[in-house]
Amino acid sequence: MACFLVPVAEAVVATVITKAVEAKETEAAQRKADTGNNNFETKSQIPLASKLKWLTSMLWGGSALLAFEHLWHGEVVPWFPFLTAASDPAAAAEMLAEMATVGVAMAVLVTTVWGVMLLVTKAMEKKALQTQPISD
Amino acid sequence: MTLLITVFAAIISTVIWYKNAPRDEMKVGMLCWMYWGAALMWLVDAIFGYVEQQAEYFTPTPVEMLNDLFLGLSAVALGLIIWLVVLLIKDPKGVIRAAWLKQR
């Protein structure tokens, strides 16, 4: 009915966090470049902002296609109140229940998959760092 | 059916992305994330559908299957359109920017 709204809400929050982290990382990189501290640094880690972008891309992309599915089934309409279930109290209650179950499960699964990806990436980064030759 | 079509779209786009990695000039990575995100969300939908309908979930009527097939293909097409729009706006190869500057 409107389960995609839960991942959309998470996507909004994740996007704001991504922008903040990106700004922080850019500032830190700039400071490092200004002080000349990165002369012999080996790049082995994917920035956190990039990793957060994986999550936001999955959430926004998935939600967009799911919103289309809801449009297809007539559950979302391009006029107010946009959700057909919102105009009827009984249907609205059902919609909220679906958001709390299906919607939350969607957001949790996407986030869990992203979490697993982070763990795998971390292990790969660690392995790459260990095999890197030590430079003076 | 929608889930299956999206999963295939996700796998194909991931293979294309991997073939060109680490370069991602065509922004195929974005397409991968979009299809995987949708596939995961539809997987949850399928699980809830299965819990509700049990074995009946796997025996849809031909009309339902046809509708789901159209929906899946339309969703994949929409994903491709979104990707194309983002690609043309970001213009990583600078083709549109160069053509526009040439015209001016």
**How far is the alpha carbon of A72 from chain B, nearest alpha carbon, in Å?**
7
- For residue B48, the chain A residues in CB contact (below 8 A) are 101-102, 105
Contacts of A94 by beta carbon, 8 Å cutoff, 6+ apart: A1, A85
Judge contact between A82 and A1, C-beta under 8 A.
no
What pLDDT is recorded for position B77? Answer: 96
What pLDDT is recorded for position A59? Answer: 96
Domain extent for B63: 2-103
Contacts of A125 by beta carbon, 8 Å cutoff, 6+ apart: A44, A45, A46
B24 versus A1: which is more confidently predicted? B24
Percent of chain A with pLDDT over 70: 90
What pLDDT is recorded for position A40? Answer: 52
DSSP state of A133: P
Q: How confident is the model at residue B103 (pLDDT cuts 50, 70, 90)?
A: confident
Number of structural domains chain B divides into: 1
Judge contact between B71 and A72, C-beta under 8 A.
yes
Q: Which of A60, A65, A109 sits opposite B78 (nearest CB)?
A: A65
Rounded to an integer, what distance in angstroms lies between the CA atom of residue A40 and that of residue A36? 10
What pLDDT is recorded for position A129? Answer: 82
Q: How confident is the model at residue A65 (pLDDT cuts 50, 70, 90)?
A: very high
Radius of gyration of chain B (CA): 18
HSE, side-chain direction, 13 A CA sphere, residue A6: 21
**How far is the alpha carbon of B95 from chain A, nearest alpha carbon, in Å?**
25
ipTM computed for the complex: 0.90
What pLDDT is recorded for position A135? Answer: 55
* Chain B: residue whose CA lies nearest to A62: B38
Q: Which of B38, B42, B48 sits opposite A61 (nearest CB)?
A: B38
pLDDT higher than 90, residue A57: yes
In chain A, which ranges are E strands? none
Which single residue is written with the structure tokens 């972008």? A53
Check A101 against B48: CB less than 8 A apart.
yes
Judge contact between B82 and B28, C-beta under 8 A.
no
- For residue A6, the chain B residues in CB contact (below 8 A) are none
What pLDDT is recorded for position B46? Answer: 94
What pLDDT is recorded for position A42? Answer: 53
Question: Phi and psi for A83 in degrees, rounded to 5?
Answer: -110, 120
Contacts of B74 by beta carbon, 8 Å cutoff, 6+ apart: A68, A72
Q: How confident is the model at residue B14 (pLDDT cuts 50, 70, 90)?
A: very high
B42 touches chain A (CB under 8 A): yes
3-state secondary structure A25-41: HHHHHHHHHHHCCCCCC
Domain ranges (residues) in chain A = 5-35+44-131
Judge contact between B42 and B5, C-beta under 8 A.
no
Rounded to an integer, what distance in angstroms lies between the CA atom of residue A120 and that of residue B67? 38
- Preceding omega of B60 cis (within 30 degrees of 0): no
Q: What is the pLDDT of residues B29-83, one digit of tens each?
A: 999 999 999 999 999 999 999 999 898 888 999 999 999 999 999 999 999 999 9
Kindly state the tokens that stand for B61. 């009527």
Please say whether the dihedral angle defined by the alpha carbons of residues A15, B10, B26 and A65, taken in this order, is positive or negative: negative
Measure the CA angle with vertex A17, ends A112 and B36; round to 5°.
35
pLDDT higher than 70, residue A80: yes
Check A58 against B37: CB less than 8 A apart.
yes
Q: What is the pLDDT of residues A2-48, one digit of tens each?
A: 888 999 999 999 999 999 999 998 888 888 777 765 555 555 688 99
B24 versus A64: which is more confidently predicted? A64
B5 touches chain A (CB under 8 A): no
- Count how many pairs of residues, chain A against chain B, have C-beta atoms within 8 Å: 83
A65 touches chain B (CB under 8 A): yes
| 3-state class (DSSP) for residue A53 | helix
